[in-house]
Chains A and B, each alone.
Chain A
């Protein structure tokens, strides 16, 4: 994951005195009997790229539309820059939005599309022309100013949509699946462009996406949503390395989850016995759970070492199995190892050396292997 230099960014959410730019307080949205968003509270700070991540239908788009003013919360309040947004229509909010479908006006040229927002504010004509030209230059669309949307490629349309939503210099930009309609290659390229633009203009972004890779690349923080609720908020690495629930662990990346019981619970470590594993986990971080509680241990596939020889050390954090499947993906290989308990464990190993050179020593089907991992790698979650 190409994270955009997190250490270079400010981390205002760690400062309790910092004033959030967007404050969402216990917001609920119901459509008839259906609860789309349930009791969501969030603080988003100036200059952030905040990603709302979740499967389709989890309420992330509804939340975004409430920020834009297209939907009114059934309960709760939203403050933007200290102003209560209740009852304020979209055309009076200091917020702009980039739509998933781009929503470019088909009967207007690129230039007219970008100028639309300024015209609504009654900006003098000369100034409009100047600012539109500067914006088109910024997104490298100057040669296409006279074209209609259907005369543009997908990537160009995306940039027109971005230019149009940025022209009014909003302090907060809402992006609904901004890269969803682009093909994979273009998407990667555009991700970085988007981050650069955001840093250059200092706009706060709230991005809705179902693509975890996109969220990891763009976000300063991610809010994972499920069934209308925010289940975890944190930086990309927090969310990946320290998921707070089975759902988050499973949703972000792939993971091996084991149900188990706490057998030792100390402030600096825990030991979990897992029947499915046929062994015990020793985890070097504390858990707040009653003794003998049922917990789940999440272990990422890339954090498991696979070897023919028995690893050194005591009985914890290792187990024996038989290789059931191998998938060669080029940059890495996936092994599925069946344990004595019948459970299959997924392991990914980077292919550091070229395959042909190592074929003799390569682990292959039906081989007996040992799996082991570091005590810092598993994460214990209680829900």
Chain B
């Protein structure tokens, strides 16, 4: 307790009273009220405006530029809407960029390859992540948090450095190769670098926590007595897993799979560092169109096409997310 009555306490109390009565907060909130803006409007409005400006509007601009022609200069594209003789608005739409995407087999292959790589990686993630999440969820409470931290720890360390680690492990001089050579299992060092396998390993490795965490959250909530009831009714453990645990963990499986699949489709760093020159993925194609060819309109068209591809899984993810929050309430 503060000693009473000292002049400094009195002064502070007076100051606080003054701030309370006329302070900046009261002043600001009164001005806001004059303009008809309440706290509620601010709470909703500030993040809303931010996201509109920096998340939604950019997509409109990308779409606009995907319809324009490339040109030399900065910015390197022709405006779509322009004043013709300063009276008529002329709209120059150019679907050639999209036609280009369809005609050139490079893009088609890149799209199909991205989906294939993302799908296989998601499946591998699920195969490794499910037992991991299941095991953690069935571990005693004291160890569970530690194991969970161990899954999280790589996520908190640099993604780039973790991909980089695999360059050493997959290369010709890797410890694996040396071990296999010395055991006489192989007589030539094999390099997995610059292959699709390396890309799979990289994606699975980087995205594994995104699979494990939603699965764990789901499995941990599951009521163990359900399995006891099943066992009581004569269900063997394997069957109980297949008929009870697995169907009940579907929301976790879906959330985890989407969290891996959607970003994996657009992945750039992993194919760029671990994949070969012929393992084309759409993210890398976009990157090269943009940075190497400086063709902004085609890069934008690639982005829009990628978005169209991902719209269904993204909507699905949002639906699943909204439902989860809804259940929480």
Contact = CB atoms under 8 A, between A and B. Distances in A.
A and B touch in the complex (CB under 8 A): yes
A139 to B, nearest CB: 22
A84 B79 CA distance: 61
Contacts of A122: 17, 20
B292 interface: no
A1 interface: no
Contacts of B225: none
Contact of A126 (B4, B17, B20): B4
Contacts of B20: 122
Interface string B9-30: 0000000010010000000000
Interface in B240-254: none
Contacts of B17: 122
A126 B9 CA distance: 13
Interface residues of B, number: 3
Nearest to B4: A126
Interface in A113-146: 122, 126
Contacts of A126: 4
B23 to A, nearest CB: 13
A346 B48 CA distance: 63
Nearest to A129: B1
Contacts of B4: 126
Interface in A76-130: 122, 126
Interface string A204-239: 000000000000000000000000000000000000
Nearest to B2: A125
A126 B20 CA distance: 19
B78 to A, nearest CB: 50
Interface in B19-66: 20
A122 B20 CA distance: 10
A173 B17 CA distance: 29
Nearest to A124: B13
B39 to A, nearest CB: 11
B1 to A, nearest CB: 9
A126 B4 CA distance: 9
A122 B19 CA distance: 13
A78 to B, nearest CB: 22
Nearest to B16: A122
Nearest to B20: A122
Nearest to A126: B4
Nearest to B1: A129
A122 B18 CA distance: 12
A321 to B, nearest CB: 43
Nearest to A122: B20
A126 B17 CA distance: 16
Nearest to B13: A125
A126 B2 CA distance: 11
A122 B14 CA distance: 12
A122 B17 CA distance: 9
A126 B1 CA distance: 11
A126 B3 CA distance: 11
A227 B17 CA distance: 49
B25 to A, nearest CB: 15
Nearest to B17: A122
A87 to B, nearest CB: 13
Interface string A274-292: 0000000000000000000
B328 to A, nearest CB: 17
A145 to B, nearest CB: 13
A230 to B, nearest CB: 29
A215 B4 CA distance: 47
A31 to B, nearest CB: 15
B21 to A, nearest CB: 10
A82 B4 CA distance: 41
A363 B218 CA distance: 58
A126 B5 CA distance: 11
B7 to A, nearest CB: 16
A23 B20 CA distance: 35
B215 to A, nearest CB: 30
A182 B78 CA distance: 73
A119 to B, nearest CB: 11
A111 to B, nearest CB: 11
A122 B4 CA distance: 17
A133 B20 CA distance: 26
Nearest to B5: A126
Interface in A56-82: none
Interface string A136-175: 0000000000000000000000000000000000000000
A125 to B, nearest CB: 8
B77 to A, nearest CB: 48
A47 B4 CA distance: 39
Interface in B69-98: none
Interface string A238-274: 0000000000000000000000000000000000000
A150 B17 CA distance: 33
Nearest to B21: A122
B116 to A, nearest CB: 46
A237 to B, nearest CB: 41
B41 to A, nearest CB: 16
B321 to A, nearest CB: 23
A376 B207 CA distance: 78
B150 to A, nearest CB: 30
3 contacts: A122-B17, A122-B20, A126-B4
Instruction: List the 3 shortest-distance A-B pairs measured between CB atoms, nearest first.
Output: A122-B20, A126-B4, A122-B17
Interface of B: 4, 17, 20
Interface of A: 122, 126
